[in-house]
Each structure stands twice: as C-alpha cells, then as structure tokens.
Amino acid sequence: MEAFTTHTGIGVPLRQSNVDTDQIIPAVYLKRITRTGFEDALFAAWRKDESFILNQAPFNAGSVLVAGPDFGTGSSREHAVWALKDYGFKAVLSSRFADIFRGNSGKQGLLAAQVAQDDIELIWKVLENAPGTEVKVDLVSKTVECGNVVAPFDIDDYTRWRLLEGLDDIGLTLQYEEDITAYEATRPSFKPKTLPAKVDAR
C-alpha cells in the first residue's frame, strides 16, 4: 500500500446523508474479477444525471469528497473504495462512516477522515461559493484545511500509523504466525471443520 501523509486537491461537496455503497457502486459492476478499472462505475446511476456534481467542472477533477453523515452504509463491497480511488479520490470527509467501509478504506489507502458535521457544513459553503477550492488533508496533524476553514479530524491511531507507513496488513500479521499456530493447537475438538465434507443424507 502506498503511504499517505498529506494530500491537497479539489474538494467535492456531496450534500447527502446515508450515501450507501449501492450508490457508490451499483451491484452490476461487482461482476468484474479485477481490483482496478472501476472509475466508470463510481456513482454510476447518479452520474447519468447531468446536474450531478461530478458532471460539473471543476468538481469532475476533484480528489477530496466531502459528504454528509453515514457515508458508505450497506454492503461490504470493497469495490466502493476501489471505485473512489480509481476515479481519483484520495480522501473522503464525513461526520460518520459505516464501519466496514471505513475498514476497507484503511486497507486500500483511501483516507476516511471523520470531521464534525458543523465543520462539514462550513467546508460545503466554501466549496459551493468558490468551486475548485482545494482541500488539504494532513494525516500527520489530523487536520483539514479549506479556504479559511481549519478543522480537526478523527481517525483511529492504528489505521493512521498503517497509512503513514504504507504497511501491508497480511505481512504484519504473519509476523505472529507462531502465535496463530499455538492458538490452533488449543481449539476444542467439537469445533466444526468444512472438510471432509458432510452433507444431509436426505
């Protein structure tokens, strides 16, 4: 994973709460078996509407999405994060993220920065009054800057550290392989195994 320290780019105000993952990427695009190439799928249904914000310059070149509360609810599809990244987004700001979406973002180097709703409202106003204003997201100081607005954001320390270092999760865990093996030796015999396969005789 690429390390993340700071990013500055055009902010996109998305004045909507409960942006669920079916909106971020409709299910029909989940049939692909690749991990990249989802830029066309991002907000696919909404982008058919010409007035949608990503169809307007300069927002179409945006890289910091500023959304309402409860962003990324619904399905666990990591494709939602892939689509945002493939389109060019580096960070999403919201006052509340769905747990699975936030986890997926952390694995993929997309910064999910939790910003108080009052500050989101101020940033929306700046971005709407002066389209094309850049938002600076600083993971080191955990602050966002947009016009005259400077606001702190929350992110858990472990995710922040992994993002700053650009660390691969599986590699980190495999350092503890001996612990995993030791745990496996203690599992009770009544716990089920999928193999050999048993099926209903009926």
Partner 1 sequence: MGKTLAEKVWDAHVVRKGEGEGANAQPDLLFIDLHLVHEVTSPQAFEGLRLAGRPLRRVDLTIATEDHNTPTLDIDKPIADLTSRTQIETLRANCKEFGVRLHSLGDKEQGIVHVVGPQLGLTQPGMTVVCGDSHTSTHGAFGALAMGIGTSEVEHVMATQTLSLKPFKTMAINVEGTLRPGVTAKDIILAVIAKIGTGGGQGYVLEYRGSAIRALSMDARMTICNMSIEAGARAGMVAPDQITYDYMEGRPHAPEGADWDAAVEYWNTLHTDADATFDVEVDLDADALEPFVTWGTNPGQGVSLSAKVPSPEDFGDENAKAAAERALQYMGLEAGTPMKDIRVDTVFLGSCTNSRIEDLRAAADIIRGRAKDPNVRMLVVPGSARVRLEAEAEGLDKVFKEFGAEWRFAGCSMCLGMNPDQLEPGERCASTSNRNFEGRQGKGGRTHLVSPVVAAATAVRGTLSSPSDLESAPAGTLTGIAV
Shortest reach from residue 14's CB to partner 1, in Å: 12
Residues 116-135 that bind partner 1 (CB under 8 A): 117
Query: In the set 5, 32, 40, 141, which binds partner 1 (CB under 8 A)?
Result: 32
Residue 174 amino acid letter = L
Query: In the set 16, 55, 133, 143, which binds partner 1 (CB under 8 A)?
Result: 16
Does 180 help bind partner 1 (rule: CB under 8 A)? Answer: yes
Classify 161 as helix, strand or coil: helix
x/- track of binding to partner 1 for residues 133-162 (CB under 8 A): -----------------------xxx----
Nearest to 145 by CA among 166, 117, 165, 115: 115
Alpha-carbon distance 195 to 117, whole Å? Answer: 50
Residue 134 amino acid letter = E
Does 20 help bind partner 1 (rule: CB under 8 A)? Answer: yes
SS3 per-residue string spanning 65-133: EEECCCECECCCCCHHHHHHHHHCCCEEEECCECHHHHHHHHHHCCEEEECCHHHHHHHHHHHHHCCCC
Query: In the set 51, 129, 148, 194, which binds partner 1 (CB under 8 A)?
Result: 194
Residues that bind partner 1 (CB under 8 A): 15-18, 20, 22-23, 26-28, 30-35, 45, 68-70, 73-79, 81, 96, 98-100, 103-104, 107-108, 117, 156-158, 169-170, 172-174, 176-177, 179-180, 183-184, 187-195, 197-200, 202
